A = this chain, B = another copy of it.
Amino acid sequence: MTTPADPEALVGGPLDALTTPCVVVDAPALEHNLRLLADYFATRHCKLRPHFKAHKCVELARRQLAAGSVTGITCAKLSEAEVLVEGGITDILIANEVVGAGKACRLADLARRATVRVAVDSAGNVEELDRAARSAGAVIGVLVEVDIGMNRCGVPPGRPTLTLASRVAEARNLRFDGLQGYEGHVVQQEDADARRRGALAAMALLMETKALLVGHGLAARIVSSGGTGTYDMTGNVDGVDEVQCGSYALMDACYKRIRPEFRVASFLLSTVVSSRGTKVVADVGTKGMGCEFGPPLVEGFPEAKVLYVADEHTPIENVRAEVGDRLRLIPSHGCTTHNLHRRMWVVRDGTVEAAWAVEGSGCLE
């Protein structure tokens, strides 16, 4: 991708000078969100391990660490961990399985330069990681992933987890650090009571499993779980050590519905490229905006009706605007939106304060 203009030249200038479509971060809203969650966990045993996958921006991860009440950073992919280490972050959990000999070598190499932990859910992968760590003279920290009801990755709770955890503990160059269980099947439930019940039921499975391991002499000193939807449910369960909240920092239209205490801190600035009557067409579509959870909201136009989202266009009814006017779109899904951009423009009081690189954009490996 070419970047014709020097981004630094736009810093200090007005929001309106930005070229669209682009991601704009509302600095006071972001600061509110970081403060709120750091304060929440300040006096609790459980701490935050903010999830990089939601924004993919190393500078934002640094702000999350600086806000306090944290254990480190969570990320989804090995290549994300690599950009985090490159960016000076020293304590990282890759909250997924890293599979394949080549990736195992890269992970072992990373473990020599930072505290890196990874999730596992199969014996073959445990052996693969141990072998790579041994070759590199490294020790990799491991959390066994437990399927606590999401039915995606993870071993079943109870005995199967004990068996795999024992394999990890026996592996010479792995360090058994504990358990990960993600209640992803409930984190976005709109009804807060149902979400709480679901989260607590999932945590009960995780805690029974932890007790089983402890009874067999396996100290699970880290139990990592949770997300933005459940931070005040999962995060208050005795025995949960850290929650992997990601979306709270920048938020999106979907999380706004269930987490009104956080402010929407990022939006897409777009330009009207076509206008007829009360129908306009915005200059961004699915290539710049994650729409997995529905069309975007149009700020300032509560009556706006998004007709559909095409690759490069979003036609919208019930908006009166001229060609060249700007629209602010709030995507339904922040994680996939930020992945589509290379830069975030941080704005305060209408002035561009900084251009943050989105180093994790496109980190799929």
Binding site for B on A (CB under 8 A): 1-2, 4-5, 17, 19-22, 53, 76-77, 79, 82-83, 86, 96-97, 99-100, 102-103, 106, 121-122, 124-125, 128, 151-154, 184, 271-275, 279, 281, 283-284, 286-288, 290-292, 310-313, 315, 322-324, 335-336, 339-342, 359-365
Contacts and interface: CB of A to CB of B under 8 A. Distances in A.
A19 B365 contact: yes
Contact of A100 (B82, B154, B271, B336): B271
A273 B19 contact: no
Interface centre among A152, A154, A361 (most CB of B within 10 A): A152
A323 B125 contact: yes
Nearest to A289: B364
Interface centre among A21, A291, A362 (most CB of B within 10 A): A362
A96 B152 contact: no
A364 B53 contact: no
A124 B324 contact: yes
Contacts of A290: 286
A297 to B, nearest CB: 19
The A contact surface, by secondary structure, is loop
Given A77-B312, A96-B312, A361-B362, 18 more contacts: A1-B362, A4-B106, A19-B102, A19-B103, A19-B365, A21-B364, A21-B365, A22-B364, A76-B312, A96-B313, A122-B275, A125-B324, A151-B315, A152-B274, A152-B313, A284-B364, A286-B336, A291-B292
A4 B336 contact: no
Contact of A152 (B79, B97, B281, B291): B281
Contacts of A121: 274
Nearest to A123: B323
A99 B273 contact: yes
Given A153-B281, A361-B362, A1 B273 contact: no
